[in-house]
Amino acid sequence: MKSSTTAGLVLCALLGGACNALPQDRPPEHLSLARHACQEPGLTPVLPPDLLSGMDIPILAGGTVESGDFLISLWLYCDPSSPSDDLESSEYSEIGSLGFRYEWQYLGPYLGRATEPGAATVVTANGMVLLRDAPGPPLSHGEIHAHTGSIRTEGQVISRAVASGDPVEFTITISAPDPTASAVLNVTFASAPDGVVLVDARIRQADPH
């Protein structure tokens, strides 16, 4: 097995580094944002002040778009308390020091009938479910819903993509009860001497279907 692995590495070297993809049974270990990846809170936008004990949390990427009757925000933010080396921690993140937040605000008419469901929210990362929130009560105009936390997916699809230099696509879909609004945040990271850094980020409205 060892000689076979060595031969594979030699072949990749001869091909000029064409073998970037990680074997499916070897997830990347301890990927984290580089120390200089995040600016100080005073130099960059921060998450709303009511979050995370009122601390100023620097936003790394993201923005806000309008889709259907919803105003949707998707953000990646810097959070040194999210480790990438402790799978048992509730704060574990596939990319250390990186967190994710979504927020939506309903701008449509009041749906007060008991037969009208609230809005279910699903967030995927490169097609794998990252978050799934069940419907709440009927929607009312101005209602806001949000989630803030570390990043973790089955199979570590995010860290695999980052380790391979591939983009990550975060997609949020809101259904009430049918898919009615959606947005996409595309991000790309690159390797740095002490971790990874963001090199590109774009947010856009998407077709919910």
pLDDT for residue 93 is more than 60: yes
10 within some domain? no
37 within some domain? yes
Element housing 8 (H / E) = helix 2-14
- 181 and 20 Cβ atoms separated by less than 8 Å: no
181 within some domain? yes
Q: What is the pLDDT of residue 13?
A: 37
Structure confidence at residue 105 as a pLDDT band (50, 70, 90): very high
pLDDT for residue 193 is more than 80: yes
149 within some domain? yes
Q: What angle do CA 136, 142, 146 make, to 5 degrees?
A: 55
Using alpha carbons, list the distances in angstroms from residue 83 to 28, 58, 86, 117.
14, 17, 6, 37
Structural domain for 168, as ranges: 30-205
Distance separating alpha carbons of residues 80 and 98, to the nearest angstrom = 8
190 within some domain? yes
132 within some domain? yes
Long-range contacts of 85-88, Cβ-Cβ distance < 8 Å, separation of 24 or more: 85/29, 85/30
In the beta sheet, which residues pair with residue 188? 200
| Of 187 and 47, more confident | 187
174 within some domain? yes
Q: Is the dihedral of CA 130, 134, 139, 144 positive or negative?
A: negative
Using alpha carbons, list the distances in angstroms from residue 133 to 14, 18, 41, 60, 102.
47, 39, 30, 24, 11
Helix, strand, coil shares of the chain, percent, nearest 5, are 15, 40, 45
Q: What angle do CA 178, 182, 186 make, to 5 degrees?
A: 150
Q: How many domains does the chain have?
A: 1
Q: What is the pLDDT of residue 206?
A: 96
pTM score of the predicted model: 0.80
5 within some domain? no
Q: What angle do CA 25, 199, 190 make, to 5 degrees?
A: 35
